[in-house]
Chains A and B, each alone.
Chain A
Amino acid sequence: MPENSIGERNAAALTDQAVQEWLVEKVAHKLGVPQSEVNPDQYFDEFDLDSTEALVLSGELENWLGFELETTALWYHPTINELSRYIVQKQGE
């Protein structure tokens, strides 16, 4: 189970799947639904998360990743799958 701390993230190279799993787990926890109900291709907007909660998610994601994301990342990569791909690409730059 992914944890909300960089210290506990596996030090292995980040993969799309690892980021996706972290995001699915976090969104499911926030919404109080099973992870199977979180569609990684659904817009963040379509989950029951308001702008404050989206920012909370962004801050917690940065903490887990150990590097900063542009705050606009969730707006310009607005699904779990798109954001996961973007993060892995960004880390490789």
Chain B
Amino acid sequence: MRPRARQPAPLVRAFTEGGGQDSSSAQSGRVVVVHPGALPTDHYRELAAALPPRTELHVVDLEQVPEYFQAALDGGRSDLTVSGVASRAADALRSRGLLSRPWTLVGWSFGGVVGHALTSFLSSAELPRQIVLLDSVAPVPEYTRGNDEIGPDLVIPWFCMYLAAKRGGAVPVPRELAAGGDVDVDTLLQAVLEAALEHGALRPGTTLPGLRKVYDTYLDGLRRNNRLAEDFAPARARVPLTLLRPERGLLATPDPLGWEQLSDDLSVERTPGDHYSMLREPVTAKLAALAAVPAGHL
């Protein structure tokens, strides 16, 4: 979200590009994406375009929850809970009449956690037919960490992917990190800065203090989500789950990111791209669209 005087913005909005358009009665399919921020919502253009004709796409933009948004700018601190955010999202969808006919829920990254929690607030008649998780990590103990465990060795590779996804291109992980040892964050960020400038992922003239601020805010967003997940006790899934895992996801664990602990009806598919670029990968968008609206299920 770009800086501007805070004005009330809807938590849920119809995505206005691509295959899914408005919420008129002529539409016959519906997909709702829970978006956790970090990237602009226009990164769902490819998904919208890949959906079958007459399929709406709506986005629940969690950054429109002021406390959620502010926590990423304020050291990750917040009194919010996953259930609190999910309850607000469920109310917003219900008040807009978006739970009234067959639909599919899609959640990217932490959006998958909120999407899963959201189903606890729905009646049986309101449930989506399934949830499609895009490289989302389940909020189970094995996959949550103390915030002091989230260090540069884990975060710098994600941060490189993030910078690359914001403006396109690639930002290689610094060799200093791969070499191991005790390297301070500013040394690593200087290497990231040089690579990002070389590959056009940052504007010419960007300096280390500027990039450090971007990194600190990115880290605060991760800490916010991690703390929210740590305090959340998820229920068993009420609908089938499909997990799409990109080639370079957040984690490379062999098991399906903890979701197998919450569902007996879980399928996993591999897709191109990384955690961030997957949203704009045409093949991933097609797979996500097919998982969300299987042939013959409009």
Contacts and interface: CB of A to CB of B under 8 A. Distances in A.
B100 interface: no
A62 B217 CA distance: 14
A62 B214 CA distance: 13
B1 A56 contact: no
Contacts of A54: 2-3
B219 to A, nearest CB: 12
Contacts of B48: none
A53 B1 contact: no
Given A70-B73, A71-B217, A72-B70, A50 B2 contact: yes
A6 to B, nearest CB: 10
Given A45-B4, A75-B4, A76-B6, A59 B74 contact: no
A84 interface: no
A29 B210 CA distance: 14
B59 interface: no
A33 interface: no
A36 interface: no
B77 interface: no
A63 B6 CA distance: 26
A75 B213 contact: no
Interface string A66-93: 0000111011101000000000000000
Interface string A29-67: 110000000000001111001111111111110110000
Contact of B74 (A55, A60, A71): A71
